[in-house]
């Protein structure tokens, strides 16, 4: 049976790090002094250097949390730096004296030597002790400012995220009524010609709107979810246009796992129906294609209708496409492409290229044939 390892408490990690850091400092100091004496043909015992150095160093392991606490209370800023400096000097002298006092008790025991007078030992160790204290104060302030910087950075990122989400919701709030009004107008036109078809259209519209508003807070969804939504919209369009509309959805399994902005495809499909199917007297093929190439998700919505007028090619943005462009810009900055143009063989094509980011555990979209669309095909790459 394998048990999960429990991480060490933060205070223990900090304590071990402090102990190892000061131990390294003590070893380096002892080795430097010992080597310097040997270079002058003085060969003292290693024991005579190791323990005195380590005793003083390990005492500063105990002093370190005290200095950090004092640094949190006496911070150097533009208002009270003189007061803080005075208090820190007093605290440094106190700890230096305490270090010499403790050394004076234990060093004679460890080295079996006479005790050095406190005044001489304090003068000898004063500068190194004050330097140690100043170094700890500097480290404490650096750590404190770093934590403050990270906190402010986190808050800034949260504010930016909330602002971006608010802008995204604002953009999508313009898409929803635009789609709603267009569909209701289509049903109103149909109600005098075929009341049953109009009834089916409004029923499908209600189902679609229920899904729209229940998912209104979702920013990104797997592409297969958007394809399912697009099929529902095509179902509504098929009730209105019947055999004049042929729809084909071709999407690789890899592409269907990619994350896309929620409510992305509907304006593009609506644009294809408006400029393709509505303006044509013969059957028009509307095709949605999705594939992944070079870590990019490429989506196209094309139609075989009469195409865009010459003055509209290169995109004269309508309400829906303007909002799609704004939505993509909020989510991906400049890392996306959105283009609409005439096809060489007739009709128009809208193309979106996004960074590919797969979603875990995404399913496949509904592959039932659309009602009123006997020639509809759904293909999986």
Instruction: Report the number of distinct structural domains present in the chain.
Output: 2
Same domain, 236 and 369: yes
Q: Which residue has the higher pLDDT, 292 or 64?
A: 292
In this prediction, residues 166-182 reach a mean pLDDT of: 59
Asked if residue 155 belongs to a domain, the reply is no
pLDDT tens track for 270-316: 888 888 888 888 999 999 999 999 899 999 999 999 888 764 544 44
Same domain, 340 and 212: yes
Asked if residue 222 belongs to a domain, the reply is yes
* Residue where a domain stops, chosen among 100, 116, 132: 116
Indicate whether this model's pTM tops 0.75.
no
Asked if residue 146 belongs to a domain, the reply is no
Asked if residue 298 belongs to a domain, the reply is yes
Percent of the chain with pLDDT over 90: 14
pLDDT tens track for 322-354: 777 877 887 888 889 998 889 888 889 999 999
Tell me the residue range of the domain where 53 lies. 10-116
Same domain, 106 and 174: no
Same domain, 174 and 71: no
- Cβ atoms within 10 Å of 281's Cβ, excluding its own: 7
Asked if residue 369 belongs to a domain, the reply is yes
Q: Which residue has the higher pLDDT, 113 or 231?
A: 231
Asked if residue 18 belongs to a domain, the reply is yes
Same domain, 315 and 193: yes
In this prediction, residues 51-62 reach a mean pLDDT of: 75
Same domain, 297 and 173: yes
Same domain, 104 and 177: no
Q: Which of 38-47, 252-261, 359-368 has the lowest mean pLDDT?
A: 359-368
pLDDT tens track for 239-258: 878 889 999 999 999 999 99
Same domain, 34 and 182: no
Confidence of residue 216 (pLDDT cuts 50, 70, 90): low
Same domain, 103 and 218: no
pLDDT tens track for 134-150: 888 888 888 888 888 88
CATH number, domain at 320? 3.30.565.10
């Amino acid at each position: 049976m394998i048990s999960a390892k429990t991480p060490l408490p933060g205070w223990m990690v900090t304590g071990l790090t402090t102990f190892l850091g000061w131990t390294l400092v003590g070893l380096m100091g002892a080795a430097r002094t010992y080597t310097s004496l040997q270079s002058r043909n003085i060969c003292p015992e290693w024991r005579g250097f190791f323990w005195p150095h380590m005793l003083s160093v390990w005492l500063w392991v105990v002093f370190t949390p005290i200095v950090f606490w004092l640094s949190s209370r006496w911070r150097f800023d533009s208002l009270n730096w003189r007061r803080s400096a005075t208090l820190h000097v007093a605290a440094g002298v106190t700890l230096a004296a305490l270090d010499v006092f403790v050394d004076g008790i234990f060093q004679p025991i460890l080295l079996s030597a006479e005790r050095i007078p406190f005044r001489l030992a304090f003068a000898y160790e004063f500068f190194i002790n004050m330097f140690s204290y100043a170094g700890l104060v500097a480290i404490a302030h650096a750590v404190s400012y770093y934590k403050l910087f990270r906190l402010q950075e986190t808050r800034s990122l949260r504010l930016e995220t909330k602002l971006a989400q608010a802008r995204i919701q604002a953009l999508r709030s313009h898409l929803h009524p635009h789609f709603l009004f267009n569909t209701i107008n289509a049903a109103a036109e149909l109600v005098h010609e075929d009341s049953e078809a109009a009834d089916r259209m409004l029923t499908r519209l209600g189902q679609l709107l229920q899904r729209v508003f229940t998912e209104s807070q979702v920013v990104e969804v797997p592409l297969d979810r958007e394809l399912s939504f697009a099929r529902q919209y095509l179902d509504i369009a098929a009730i209105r246009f019947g055999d004049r509309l042929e729809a084909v959805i071709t999407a690789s399994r890899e592409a269907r796992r990619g994350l896309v902005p929620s409510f992305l495809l509907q304006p593009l499909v609506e644009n294809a129906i408006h400029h393709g199917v509505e303006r044509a007297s013969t059957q028009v093929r509307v095709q949605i294609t999705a594939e992944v190439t070079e870590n990019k998700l490429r989506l196209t919505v094309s139609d075989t209708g009469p195409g865009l007028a010459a003055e509209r090619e290169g995109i004269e943005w309508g309400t829906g496409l303007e909002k799609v462009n704004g939505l993509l810009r909020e989510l991906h900055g400049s890392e996306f492409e959105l283009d609409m143009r005439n096809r060489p063989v007739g009709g128009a094509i809208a193309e979106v290229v996004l960074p590919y980011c797969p979603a875990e555990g995404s399913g496949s979209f509904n592959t039932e044939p659309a009602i009123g669309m006997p020639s509809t095909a759904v293909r999986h790459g």
